[in-house]
Chains A and B, each alone.
Chain A
Amino acid sequence: MANYLAQFQTIKSSCDRVVIAVEDVSDLWLNVRQSFEQRLPVKKACLNNKARNPVFVENLPAEFIQTTDSRLRSRFPQEQYLFWFREPYATVVLVTCEDLDEFKTILKPRLKLIVQNDEREWFIVFVSKAHPGNDQATKMAKKVYARLETDFNTKRRERCCKFDLHGTDADFWDDFDSKMVDCIRNTLDRRVQFYEEENRKLSEQRFTPIWNFCNFFILKESLAFMFEVTNLHEDSLREYDELELCYSESVNLPGKHREFGGLDTGDDQAALLNPGFKALTQIIQDDVFREFEFRQYIFACQAKLLFKLSRPVEVAARGYAFVVGFSKTLALHENALPFCFREVWVITACLGLIKSTSAQYDNGIVAIDSEKEFHRLQGDLYSLCRVKFMRLAYLIGYGVEIEKSPVNSASLSMLSWPKPATWPSIPPDSSAEIMTKEKITLQAKPREKLFNIQRKPLPLEPSFLLREANRRRAFLSVGNMSELYDSVDGSGLDAHSKLPSNKSSSNLMIRTMSGPATSETSLPVDRPMRLSEIHVAAEHALKQTISDPDFMTSLSSPEEFENRYMELTKGAADNYHRSWWKRHGVVLDGEIAAIFFKHGNYDLAAKSYEKVCALYSAEGWEELLADVLPDLAECQKILNDEAGYLASCVKLLSLESSLFSSKERQAFQSEVVRLAHSEMKHPVPLDVSSLITFAGNPAPPLELCDGDPGTLSVAVWSGFPDDIALESLSLRLSASSSADEGLKAIKSSDARVLVPGRNIITFAIPPQKPGSYVLGALTGQIGKLSFRSHGFSQDGPVDTDEFMSFEKPTRPVLKVRKPRALVDITPAVSSALLMNELQWIGLIVKPIDYSLKGGILHIDAGAELKIEESQMIEIESYRSNGEQSGPTDASKALSSSSEPGRVEKVPIENGKIKLPDWASDVTTLVWFPVRAIDDTIARGTSPASPLKHSIVDGMRMIALKLEFGAFHNQVFERTIAVHFTNPFHVSTRVVDKCNDGTLLLQVILHSEVKATLHVKDVSLDLQAGFEHLGNGDGRPTSSLFPLVIAPSSRAGILFVIRLSGTKDLDELENSDSMMTIKYGISGDRTTGAHSPVPVKPDDSEELLFKISLKLKRPVLDPCLAVGFLPFSTDCLRVGQLVNMKWRVERLKDLDEASLPDDEILYQVDANPQNWMVAGRKCGHISFSKAQGSRIEIAVTCVPLVSGYVHPPQLGLPDVGEANVSCNPAGPHLVCVLPPTLSTSYCIPA
């Protein structure tokens, strides 16, 4: 059956559409052909697929062929059967007849004969030639057609349709199409069934010896082809898939040795998209196809169908898998194939796939996912192609052009060398080429990396090419490395000891091995090839392998290689980027950058390198970053991009220290320092967050009171490998409550050299606003370069600055408390002190959790108060009552911490006291002597002249100002009031009046102070009008001195006096008696008044107190009596008028001239706040001089306030007080009720 293969191929190529046979019974074809063929291809057809499901296909290609055509006639039945797919799918029988008899006798039998063949699907088209105008003919045609229908239509199927030659109607064409499609479908179904049956049969025999893949293939492909022709591409694809599977199984069967193929010219160019690349007959051998060609053929068929199905993404996906898989297959047969055949094939395959899929892909709009998928596949194809291309280039000596980057190294060093049966040997007459190669190798210097980074270049070869190539040479049985070395330089050194010592680069080593170029070209058989010779040999072998001249051109020179390499890399990178595989894409960007760099296109190189670095840096892959960052730095250096260069250097320094040697790191630092001290064109602040990090102390935050400066120590980690000198270093704090960094930078006054690792830097912090603060940023200057760091670190330098992106609890380093009382100053004593004496005033200075160290107390005594500056101030530690009565443990603890009862005397200057250091934290009592000055003479009181005593009289103010805090920034101000008083309050009263006119005057001394008073002597200097009885020294009658008066108690002293005979009333009234009291005081200054501070040592303790007393002559001869008459009403109310009445009665005649006539002046005194006097307050009233005459004086008043108030008083100004007897004698009170409720606003219910 394999013999039919060629025929099959021909048929397949010639027949690409559905054939519809035309049985032209009545010679009508020429008339209708044009209109029939216009219906093709069939616009819409409903066919059944292999699973018998209806599928709509569009534009089904078809062709009408007359049965008389040679193409249909000259077929043998056997052939027909085998290539059934090319047989007509439908038969159109064209008839016409205008006569019923003719139909019956001639046409009908003929038609019966035609349609009796059951194999064929047929239908009859009756063509009516009748002109529409010709009614007779039309009628006749209708009759004949009706007859035709009855004869050939069955119940199940109508097989006739009528076509009007003149005036076609649309219905016919629909009818025609549907009949035609019916026929095609039926035929197709039958044929599919047939092929399936055949295939099944063959499949059953698969493991029998007679089985032949070729037969199976022809049947299978026939079916597939039939599906393809009928536009059932999905089914067709499935058939090919099955075919492929079956082939894989059969080809892998052990036993038979088959040819693999791939040895023909042009085979190196992958034909996986070109099914017609080779005739099937060419690739068959012993009924089995050669794998190399057949697999590509199958794939090409599949790809063709997939393209027809508009699925280029799937082509790419299958293609990539196919290339990878087939590449492995090629590797199995590599020793039979030309040198590097596999690599060349993969490259061409990838390029072909890329080209065709992208061409097809442009047409469609696809979902984002499949777009990504497509670009990813394209990227994969490009990069696969790129790797293989690099491999080829490396083999022919362009290795120096290839960047030794991780991506290239990983791709190439894990990719095994080609394994030809024998390594190509050097072609004759190639010495010139060898020389050239050698020159290239010698000239190529490994790129001097910036900063002298000495890093072992990454390998681009899985094992040394030199060894591999020589090992595979046919005539060298053993590829021992040591032998190679020995034979080359003859030094006899052991290879193992030599190899590791030579670490610089593989190139370097190769050079030493190849030695000085010897001009000999014809190698002795036992001499291993040199590297340049290997390159030349490989190049020649490749020239043999590669049939595409264009491809070979791209390997012809380093420049061409680079162009193609660039193209592939760009393609891969671009596609990876479009597939969102940024990592793949960016890595390749780095490769592009390397080429740009090599060509001095530093701008573009820097841009690409930046992308790579940004990715690695963002994702924290430091080892990879360490590889590419120096390149970026170099670009930036060349481009004079100082900012970028500095940033790169800083980044390099901040990478893990193990990635670079200390020498390299020192080089980075010196670059930074050099630039920092140079004149930069555009100085920019440098971000060193990753290099210089800082953190507060692990201890609780520094707490400051409002307005206080402080010292904050911050740990700064320097990532520089050496000490680095800073011009300045400042710290910004930021308030944790607000985001703005509006705070001033705080400069450090510390040493400006940062040692590597931890440095403790102290910052003097000026007063800050209340709140808590976190470390903001560290700024500083290296040379002229200002830098800035945001890098916090908890307990060590962080790895990367991306670390910062995590939510990290920022710990406040500084807390400034809200303003609060830091100290309290209160007077120690609340009771009164002695007036006019030097008294200690105690101030309790109580620090509230705040040190008063260095505090200065300003004491500003107010008016009538004088601080005795000649005296020392006493400061003693103070314990309040609460503390003293506290548990003994506590007091012990206290006493151990501070010396109890410590007293220190300090001077006072200009009202300033400097607090001693020991007093800074403890509550102290400050005693200072003051003298309150009161020049007025105290007055005693008597029942007649009650004391109008105001407490304000004894008040003295002291303004205090305490400056404290480290910088005297804290100020406490307070004004305190101190109460001074006289020692005594004196009151007098006449105890008794004797018949002989002597008066017993009792002087009562009230103690005003909280101290015991010792009255030592009292003398009373009486005013005029009085005189002492007896010896007249003014002493009291009884001598009980010293008289001790306890605090707040009183004592009485009795004087016996009498009125002296003076008549001058005025004189009597204007003079006072003066009492002098000599006394001592024994009091404690902590409770109140105490003995005055001795100014001079000889000051006696005896004190003198003078007080004036006003004695009133008793009313001995009253002339007039004034009596307050009771009110007419029981109660007084506010707002109610009340009549005040006084009765004045003349008790005796007054013979004195003081009253000139019988009129008397009266005056009503009323407190205007309490009373409203209605009417005259004063006036003259006639009053008879006769004894016993009486008058009443009435005044109407309105009380204004409720309560007990003094009523108005009637005074008689013209008559001396001594002559008037009043009843009641002294002031008295009346009760005034509140006003009655007003009912005027009450609303009756």
Chain B
Amino acid sequence: MASTACFVIVSKNDIPIYDAEVGSAPKKEDQAYQHQFILHAALDVVQDLAWTTNAMSLKSVDRFNELVVSVYVTAGHTRFMLLHDTRTEDGIKSFFQEVHELYIKIFLNPLYLPGSRITSSHFDTKVRALARKYL
């Protein structure tokens, strides 16, 4: 498992609708800011890259010192962004795909307003489980 990993789902309006620190390293208060900051800045890169490829998985789009940002863009232009320090391309890809699956389930929920924050604890649990499995 990656020691540092921050996973964020950004809606098509660039609003983070879900975020989770899924790394194994103990949480540091100040790191949350940095991770948010790095992921936010990486949106700039994603906006350029997303339209250059048909693939949903953009792989690693940005690098910040030792940390890498991997991005997966859904058809609805929701972006799954993962800030991580280890490089298991396959694992990350599987992680994204399965999270996409979960996300679609959330999306199909008639009580979920698309674009609003995902507050489902079930989703959270599942995402963390997936992170443990793949990252």
By a beta-carbon cutoff of 8 Å, the part of chain A in contact with chain B is 372, 406-407, 409-411, 413-415, 456, 458-459, 576, 580-584, 587, 616, 618-621, 623-624, 627, 794, 799-800, 802-803, 805-806, 808
Contacts and interface: CB of A to CB of B under 8 A. Distances in A.
Interface string B72-91: 00000000000000000000
Given A582-B44, A806-B113, A410 B34 contact: yes
Given A414-B66, A799-B117, A806-B113, A407 B16 contact: no
A242 B50 CA distance: 32
A414 B29 contact: no
Interface in B1-44: 13-16, 29-30, 32-34, 36-38, 40-41, 43-44
A260 to B, nearest CB: 23
A407 B34 CA distance: 7
A616 B16 CA distance: 11
Given A802-B13, A806-B114, A808-B113, A621 B40 contact: yes
20 contacts: A372-B48, A406-B33, A407-B41, A413-B30, A414-B65, A414-B66, A456-B30, A458-B30, A458-B34, A576-B44, A582-B44, A584-B41, A584-B44, A587-B37, A619-B40, A620-B14, A621-B36, A621-B40, A623-B32, A627-B33
A620 B10 CA distance: 10
Given A410-B64, A805-B13, A583 B41 contact: yes
B12 to A, nearest CB: 11
A96 to B, nearest CB: 66
Interface string B53-74: 0000000000011110000000
Nearest to A796: B119
Of all A-B residue pairs in the complex, the 3 with the closest CB atoms, nearest first, are A620-B15, A406-B37, A581-B44
Contacts of B14: 618-620
A305 to B, nearest CB: 27
Contacts of A621: 15-16, 36, 40
Contact of A413 (B34, B45, B116, B117): B34
Contacts of B48: 372
Given A459-B30, A621-B36, 12 more contacts: A372-B48, A406-B34, A409-B33, A410-B38, A414-B64, A414-B66, A576-B44, A583-B40, A619-B14, A620-B15, A624-B36, A627-B33
A806 B48 CA distance: 25
Nearest to B45: A581
B30 A409 contact: yes
Contact of B15 (A458, A583, A584, A802): A802
Contact of B16 (A406, A411, A620, A627): A620
Interface string B90-126: 0000000000000000000000011111000000000
Given A582-B44, A620-B14, A806 B115 contact: yes
B34 A409 contact: yes
A951 B112 CA distance: 72
Given A415-B65, A619-B15, A806-B113, A624 B44 contact: no
Contacts of A799: 116-117
A904 to B, nearest CB: 52
Nearest to B38: A410
Nearest to A794: B113
A808 B114 CA distance: 10
B44 to A, nearest CB: 4
Contacts of A620: 13-16
A410 B37 contact: yes
A926 B56 CA distance: 78
A1212 to B, nearest CB: 98
B117 to A, nearest CB: 6
B44 A619 contact: no
Contacts of B34: 406, 409-410, 413-414, 458
Contacts of B36: 406, 621, 623-624
B108 to A, nearest CB: 17
Contacts of B13: 619-620, 802, 805
B65 A407 contact: no
A578 to B, nearest CB: 13
A411 B37 CA distance: 10
A409 B38 CA distance: 11
Contacts of A803: 115-116
Contacts of A406: 33-34, 36-37
Contacts of B16: 619-621
B44 A583 contact: yes
A1058 B12 CA distance: 115
A414 B67 contact: yes
Contacts of A805: 13
Contacts of B38: 410
Contacts of A808: 113
B15 A800 contact: yes
Nearest to B65: A414
B55 to A, nearest CB: 20
Nearest to B28: A459
Contacts of A456: 29-30
B117 A624 contact: no
Contacts of A580: 47
Contacts of A618: 14
A587 B47 CA distance: 17
B33 A623 contact: yes
A965 B45 CA distance: 65
Most B Cβ at <10 Å: residue of A456, A618, A623, A802: A623
A802 B12 CA distance: 13
Contacts of A802: 13, 15
Contacts of B44: 576, 581-584
A415 B64 CA distance: 9
Contacts of B117: 799
B126 to A, nearest CB: 22
Nearest to A798: B116
A933 to B, nearest CB: 72
Given A414-B65, A619-B15, A806 B37 contact: no
A794 B111 CA distance: 11
B45 to A, nearest CB: 8
